[in-house]
Chain A
Amino acid sequence: MAATEDREAPAPRARGGALAALTQAALALPILAIAARAGAAQVGEVGIAVLGYKERGLIKVTEPVIWANAQIAEVWEVQASAAIDIITGASPQLVTNLSGKPVQAVTGASINDRRNTGDLHVTRHFGDFALSGSYTESNEEDYHSRAYGVEGRWDLDHKLTTIAAGYGRSNDRVGSSIDQTLNAPRHTDEYMLGVTRILTPLSLVQSTVAIARGRGWYNDPYKLTLTFYPDQILPILLADRRPDHRDTLSWLTRYRRHFPGANATLQADYRYYRDDWGIRAHTLEVAWQQDLGDRWSVRPALRYYTQSAADFYSPTIPRPQPEIVSSDQRLAAFGGLSPSLRLTYRFAGGTVIEGTAGYVHDARSLRFGGGGSEAYTTLRAVFGLVSVSRPF
């Protein structure tokens, strides 16, 4: 049996961390569930993050994301964030069967876009009830979005159960750098209902159902299909044509379980998605957050995704030509695996630095049960995220 590692009494920790350290140690004990909030002596947080994403020929950098939240007079919470995305590189736009088999072609046209986005979230607490309002704005050359939402949360049963219900509305305008005349609206109404239940002092489950009803322009002005027919000299080039509505349902269930003996938390999420375009998707993500001492945490995660194709997905234009058809491979049947690793370091003063690196591999062969779309081009991408946050 080993004695406590440090033979000498350690130098006193920086003071801000002491409460967190004692609270952390108390959290491992089977005492009050309210201890889960005990570390929050802080009243606010500021943070900055840089995200990078790279797939063959396409680089997307989000720089920077800045966020801040603050609690005011104990009953108000304000949260705001801003981000700028810069996307550069070539975009696959055309699906053609020129070679005999439909494949996705990179047209050589390059994208250079910049997206500015910001949001504001305000919450007012009334005892066991909290009401939030939010506003999000996103602008880029060919896309503008304004969304607002309201959400209510009730703590029941001594905060062992929390019920949340919300409504959101998003008003978007879709344009195109190719077709300057395009300026089409899209409206989405979203309804959300969720329940969080603390099962034991060490585990909780959360389940949220969201239904969205969208109307308006869904065609992607950058997606084209070029189909050659053996009995026809001239090929047909067709723009993306999708329904003018989309109703979706997504159901997300998350489970968290802390293992005090191992200083670790299991995080398991399952998401079911369906829409009236015929897409059914399942996402399963399992992560293990392991604390290594007071300062370091490591979180390996693996996500699996699988979806069926939209009813109108086709890599070639069928004959007779249907009203709606799209060769966009995001509407195809495929599956994907995405491993990632996150490292966290906590400074004594409360500042947290986090770095995440991940890999995305989407392929038709990864579809659950097989049956992935033949024309799906395997996608491999890497992403990285670095963030710094500090409480105040």
Chain B
Amino acid sequence: MSLHRFAFRAMAAVNEVQVHAADRGAAAAMAAPAIAEVRRIEEKYSRYRPESVVSRINAQAGGAPVAIDEETAGLLDFADACWRQSAGLFDATSGVLRRAWRFEPGSAVPSREALEALLPRIGWQRVERTREAVRLPLAGMELDFGGFGKEYAVDRAALALREAGAESALVNLAGDLAILGPQPDGTPWNVGIRHPRVENVAIATLPVASGAIATSGDYERYLEVDGVRHCHVLDPRTGRSARGFRSVTVHAQTCIVAGSASTIAMLMGRDAGLEWLDGLAVAHFCVLEDGAIIDRFPATVS
């Protein structure tokens, strides 16, 4: 048995599947369906692809309902659970705020007027949906699967690996990952958590035997103006960036749960977010705004 690694591009990032297998051919046979599954989900849900379900729903905002299949209905149910559990902070319609924000050096922080003009387009509670169809009631409303779409792809890729016979494997989509079983020698996988301020440096290495890890951070897309960092995690009530954390890493049995939990904690801010994570009883690792580390990971999580 040896470890085989397969890097691939998808979802605007470099991702990786790692599999322990007898030889590279066997490993590739297990990795291929997992990579194909990630690409399938990207095509189906990416808002950058005009033919995706999400793009079609957004194009019909204020118009006719769009038919959805069972998988999409399940994901929208999940978005609904996130909205309810976060008291409305996690809102799958808040992506419209990106029209005001430019996360590029030299850009300005959007004005209050610019943000307030967008707030009426946000409101998960107004999304009309059944098991078979969904409709955004206002033209200009947008749905996006940020915070759970990529995480769902991680879980689906892990399932594809398992179904292909992998016993010890890892799927990593830009830092959100799922782990199938410990390594062949019985030891857990060591998962490096990216330093939120220094690229390509791990701030911690967490031993994980199974389950999934997801991280929300202020370092992926952000705008720094006058020493204040504005990150892409946006509060649907104000349109402004979440404050309090540089990054939140959560372990859960599935990546979709870990990802939504870390995003909700980011949105809640430092005190409420930490309290909420404590209440969830999930292992978590947080870097606060001031650089302090809250490490609530046991010796090994499984």
Of B84, B278, B281, the most chain A CB neighbours within 10 A belong to B84
B127 within 8 A of A: yes
Given A10-B88, A29-B78: A35 touches B254 (CB 8 Å cut-off): yes
Q: Is the CB of A38 within 8 A of B254?
A: yes
Q: Which B residues are in CB contact (< 8 Å) with A30?
A: 71, 74, 156, 159
Whole-angstrom CA separation of A15 from B211 in the bound complex: 21
Q: Which A residues are in CB contact (< 8 Å) with B75?
A: 29
Mark B230-262 against chain A: 1 for CB-CB distance below 8 A, else 0.
Answer: 000000000000000000000011101100110
Whole-angstrom CA separation of A21 from B84 in the bound complex: 9
Q: Which residues of B contact A (CB under 8 A)?
A: 65, 70-71, 73-75, 77-78, 80-88, 124-131, 133, 135, 137, 152, 155-156, 158-159, 162, 167, 178, 180-181, 210-211, 252-254, 256-257, 260-261, 275-276, 278-282, 302
Given A12-B87, A25-B78, A26-B256: A19 touches B71 (CB 8 Å cut-off): no
Q: Which 10 A-B pairs have the closest CB atoms?
A: A9-B88, A15-B279, A38-B253, A25-B81, A31-B155, A1-B128, A12-B87, A41-B281, A25-B78, A18-B85
Q: Is the CB of B87 within 8 A of A9?
A: yes
Q: Is the CB of A19 within 8 A of B135?
A: no
Q: Is the CB of B85 within 8 A of A12?
A: yes
Distance in angstroms from B41 CB to nearest chain A CB is: 11
4 further interface pairs, Cβ-Cβ under 8 Å (given A22-B78, A261-B73): A4-B127, A18-B85, A28-B78, A260-B74
Given A3-B137, A18-B276, A23-B253: A32 touches B158 (CB 8 Å cut-off): yes
Residue among A16, A25, A31, A34 making CB contact with B77, cutoff 8 Å: A25
Q: Which B residues are in CB contact (< 8 Å) with A158?
A: 162, 167, 180-181
Given A32-B155, A34-B253: A18 touches B279 (CB 8 Å cut-off): yes
Q: Is the CB of B256 within 8 A of A31?
A: yes
Whole-angstrom CA separation of A31 from B163 in the bound complex: 11
Of B70, B85, B275, the most chain A CB neighbours within 10 A belong to B85
Whole-angstrom CA separation of A35 from B170 in the bound complex: 16
Given A8-B125, A31-B254, A32-B158: A22 touches B85 (CB 8 Å cut-off): yes
Question: Interface majority SS on A: helix, strand, loop or mixed?
Answer: loop
Q: Which A residues are in CB contact (< 8 Å) with B257?
A: 19, 22-23, 26, 38
Q: Is the CB of B84 within 8 A of A32?
A: no
Residue among A7, A24, A31, A201 making CB contact with B152, cutoff 8 Å: A31
Given A26-B78, A38-B253, A38-B254: A1 touches B280 (CB 8 Å cut-off): no
Given A1-B130, A9-B88, A32-B158: A22 touches B81 (CB 8 Å cut-off): yes
Q: For residue A25, which residue of chain B has the nearest CB?
A: B81
Q: Is the CB of B252 within 8 A of A19?
A: yes
Question: Interface majority SS on B: helix, strand, loop or mixed?
Answer: helix
Given A15-B280, A19-B281, A32-B158: A24 touches B254 (CB 8 Å cut-off): no
Q: Pick 27 A–B contacts, CB within 8 A, sort by A.
A: A1-B135, A2-B130, A3-B137, A4-B80, A9-B125, A11-B87, A12-B276, A13-B84, A13-B85, A15-B276, A15-B280, A16-B280, A22-B81, A23-B257, A25-B81, A28-B74, A29-B256, A31-B155, A32-B159, A33-B159, A35-B155, A37-B253, A38-B252, A38-B253, A38-B254, A158-B167, A261-B131
Q: Is the CB of B135 within 8 A of A6?
A: no
Whole-angstrom CA separation of A35 from B74 in the bound complex: 15
Q: Is the CB of A9 within 8 A of B83?
A: yes
Whole-angstrom CA separation of A158 from B272 in the bound complex: 38
Whole-angstrom CA separation of A6 from B87 in the bound complex: 11
Given A15-B279, A29-B152: A3 touches B125 (CB 8 Å cut-off): yes
Whole-angstrom CA separation of A24 from B78 in the bound complex: 9
Q: Which B residues are in CB contact (< 8 Å) with A261?
A: 70, 73, 131
Q: For residue A263, which residue of chain B has the nearest CB?
A: B77
Q: Is the CB of B125 within 8 A of A4?
A: yes
Q: Which A residues are in CB contact (< 8 Å) with B158?
A: 31-32
Q: Is the CB of A35 within 8 A of B253?
A: yes
Q: Which B residues are in CB contact (< 8 Å) with A7?
A: 125
Whole-angstrom CA separation of A13 from B86 in the bound complex: 8
Q: For residue A30, which residue of chain B has the nearest CB?
A: B71
Q: For residue B65, which residue of chain A has the nearest CB?
A: A1
Q: Is the CB of B137 within 8 A of A32?
A: no
Given A6-B125, A15-B276: A32 touches B178 (CB 8 Å cut-off): yes
Whole-angstrom CA separation of A49 from B126 in the bound complex: 43
Q: Which B residues are in CB contact (< 8 Å) with A32?
A: 155, 158-159, 162, 178, 253-254
Residue among B71, B133, B152, B261 making CB contact with A1, cutoff 8 Å: B133
Q: For residue A36, which residue of chain B has the nearest CB?
A: B253
Whole-angstrom CA separation of A57 from B178 in the bound complex: 60
Q: Is the CB of A10 within 8 A of B84?
A: yes
Q: Is the CB of B159 within 8 A of A19?
A: no
Whole-angstrom CA separation of A42 from B158 in the bound complex: 25
Q: Which B residues are in CB contact (< 8 Å) with A16?
A: 279-281
Of A3, A14, A24, A29, the most chain B CB neighbours within 10 A belong to A29
Whole-angstrom CA separation of A208 from B70 in the bound complex: 34
